[in-house]
Each structure stands twice: as C-alpha cells, then as structure tokens.
Amino acid sequence: MSEPKVFLLPDLGEGLTEAELVSWLVAVGDEIRVDQPIAEVETAKSMVEVPSPYAGTVAVLHGEPGQTLDVGKPLISVTPVGAVAAPAKAPEVAETAEDAAAAVYREEEKAGSGNVLIGYGTPGGHGVARRTRPRKSSAAPVVAEPVAQVSAAEKAADDLVLMRTRVPGKLGAVISPLVRRMARDHGVDLGDLQGSGASGLIMRRDVEAVIKPSVAGRAAVAPVETPAAAAVAGTGDTDARTGLGITGRTAVRGVRKAVAANMTRSRSEIPEATVWVDVDATALVELRAALKKADPHHTPGLLAFIARFVTAGLRKFPELNSRLVTTEDTTGGASQEIVVFDGVNLGFAAQTDRGLMVPSVRNADKLSARGLDAEIRRLTAVVRDGKATPAELGSGTFTLNNYGIFGVDGSAAIINHPEVGILGVGRIIDKPWVVNGELAVRKVTELTLTFDHRVCDGGTAGGFLRFVADAIENPGSVLADM
C-alpha cells in the first residue's frame, strides 16, 4: 500500500500566514489532476483558488469550510495515481511548519507539476473531478488532526532554508521573518536565546518557550479583570460590564483583521500631520461635462482627472512618493533611509462587501486620464469580486481616497502603511464662493493630505496640496502641460 502525499497550504505571498477555508472544490474519493483547483480560500488580501501539485485520488481533506488554516499546515492528502490507498492517518507536521513551508512547497512542486504559482494557481489543469465512488449527501469531509511532531523531511527542509540565511554576528544566524516578528511583538531579545535548530539556529519553538511562561506568569500575578476582559467573559447573551444584551459576535479575521493590524501599525509608527484646503472645482466639472457631451462613452470620471493631477504632483514633490526603510546591521543596530521611487503606483480606496480594499494602479504616472479611468474601473471590479492579487493590493506608493461618495466633506485619514501620504477628496457641492470680488455659487470640494512628518515638512506637503488644488481649479492649462 502507498502512503498518501500530503500537500501543505502554500505560501500565499505578501507576508500572509493564514487563510480561511471557504469551500472545497473536491471531495474524498475524487480523482484529481495536477494543477486542478482543489479548494477556495480567503486571505486578508483576496479570494484564492489553490491548485494541487499532485495527481491521484483525494484521501483526506484537512479542514472544514469556515476554518482558519495556517500556512505550512496540511491542506489535502492525495493517493498517487496507480497506488493502492493506505488507511488515512494524521500527517507529521513540523513544529516550525510556517518557517519550513517555502522549502517544503518547493519539494512538492518537484514531485508534482513544477509550475505551481505560490498562492495563485497555474494556467490550465482545470479538469473536472471524476468520482471513483458515489458521494453520500450526508457524509462530512474526512478531517485529520495533525500531530505536532517533526518529520525527518520537514526538519531537513527547515534546516536547509534557515542555513542559507546564516550571517556572522550577534545572533549567529538570521532566523525567519515570522520568528523575528513574533520575538519583536512579544519583546523577546533574540540575542539571549540559544537556538535548538541546526548550528544553533533560533526556531519558532524557542521563542514560544520564552513567551508562554511569561504570559502565564502575568496571568498569575495580575488577576484584576479589565473592562475588555469583562465584556468577553460575559455569560449568556448579556454583557457583564454594561448589563446590555448582546445581539451578535463577529470574529475579527480576513480583511477586517488585516485592516485593523495595518491601521494600528500606521498610527503607532508614523508621526502623521494633516493639511487641507477648500477647492473651487467648477472648471473641472464643466470640462468633464463638455467632454461627456462630445463623447458620452469614453469620458473619464472626475476621480481619474484628480488622479492625473496627483501623479503630476508627486513628480514635482517626490518626497511624498517614497518609503521610510529601517535596516539592521550585524551588531543589532538600526539605521533609516528614505527610498524615493521611480514611478507612481497609485492606490485608491474601494469599498467592497469584504471591507475597505486599496488596489493600486501600477505606473499610474505613465497613464492618461482615460487610461487611469479604465484601470480604476477594472481594479474596482476585481476587488469587489474578491479576485485581486497581492501585487494589485500591496504595491502602492501613494493613496488617493475619494470619501466624497459617502456624502462627507473631509477626513483626517490614516496613512496606508508603509506609504508616507494619503490624499482625501470630499464631496463636490454648491457653496458660496468669491469670484472676482463678487459672491457666486460654485462647485466646491475639500482636499485633505495626511503625510509622514519624518519624510517631509509642511512646506513640501503644502506645496503638493496646492499644486493639486490649482490643477483642479485650472484643469485645461494643467492638462495641456502634461
């Protein structure tokens, strides 16, 4: 009898370490092909179809719809083509599965199709599963509980990945980014740890061994219940702190979890400042109306024109199209530098059923207003369908936020970390405005710029904001110069 091959949930890119299993596209007993989609998962970025690197018969489905799975943990077990299925059993999973996932996945690629794109499937191979036995409507998926034990293959893969990153210095080796982040989040000094991996490499289990006792100790000496804890500990359907009934509980995960983490990080790390200005947008509204009358089917939206002005402004004030990067040296010290980009990937906020998403128009500075309009419409449709890729959602260098569609005038927005600026546009409404010394009714909007005060001062921020405002007030002359 042949042992089933275990396919681990692959690295989904962009630092994503977990995904929610939305639905299985196959069932136990199905015959599947290499590269055939086997499951649909939802990450903090988008909806993803995961392809199989193996051909054979589905033996075990490791999870149920609605369950959150970690990268590097078993997703599906497949009995190879022509093999006699062995009784399904729980696979051995490395304690450091997240750290070894990339190397293990590469080995699986060699055994399977060899062309699986991490997190996003491969071209072709979308065959329909053929059943070898009838599916019982009441049957539940076979779910195996993984045993927390290190297999020889996974340990070797883990050691191989980490050995390649060795550098001389205080730590003796560079551990994985996940381990670094875990240590940083819990205040663990990696320099004081003796790694249990090959050649003294520091593994996830080493950091967890330090974290868990400290957490238990704090719980023992601090039994005082906080208001937040009281709310969670409320019995039945009544909140213990307020005495009010609870109408529902929603887990913070997926997009909402990612947004919460990013906004918290932005506010904690970026010393932001905000400047704003009221703008007479009458000329821009009239220009678009004239273009629409001449060509009703190919007229860009107002947001596309403003996006064109923003990219021009960022060329003039490149400090706002940058990123602040912190680097570590071998002695544990840190230094910072401002990295300015050659080109603009313009992000824009789009409200979807899954929450607020910020796709980015790549090389937006090279597009016309019509080109920007087409790409904004395409990306909006993609994110609302949940099909945007991490590259489309995580490559922005500056964000444009049109919150005027919600009927509000202004907002001190939170910067989309790790960018350094975000420009908000309020609703365009009729307001009294002084024109040539006389009062008139004009189309007025408010522009609000929030910027990272570490990369530029108020003069630069004000200059950029004034440039965009002047372009809106005199669009004809500005567009002629572009």
Active site residues: 453
Domain count, the chain: 3
Do 125 and 191 reside in the same domain of the chain?
A: no
Do 352 and 448 reside in the same domain of the chain?
A: yes
The tokens describing 308, both together, are 């064109």
Do 207 and 276 reside in the same domain of the chain?
A: no
What is the pTM assigned to this prediction? Answer: 0.58
Q: Evaluate whether 135 touches 44 at the Cβ level (below 8 Å).
A: no
Strands (DSSP E) along 281-426, which ranges?
322-328, 334-340, 346-348, 350-352, 355-357, 360-361, 398-402, 421-425
Helices (H), 112-171: 152-163
Range in 166-175, 187-196, 369-378 the model is least confident about: 166-175
Domain boundary among 130, 157, 184: 157
pLDDT at 297 over 80: yes
Do 263 and 217 reside in the same domain of the chain?
A: no
Domain containing residue 58: 5-157
The answer to whether residue 424 sits within a structural domain is: yes
pLDDT, position 225: 44
Report pLDDT digits (tens) over 27-63.
Answer: 999 999 988 989 988 776 667 788 888 899 999 999 8
pLDDT, position 184: 73
Domain boundary among 105, 131, 157: 157
pLDDT, position 482: 60
Average pLDDT of the chain is 77
pLDDT, position 12: 66
pLDDT, position 449: 97
The answer to whether residue 326 sits within a structural domain is: yes
The answer to whether residue 292 sits within a structural domain is: yes
pLDDT, position 277: 97
At residue 397 the predicted structure's pLDDT band, cuts being 50, 70 and 90, is: very high
The tokens describing 211, both together, are 């974290």
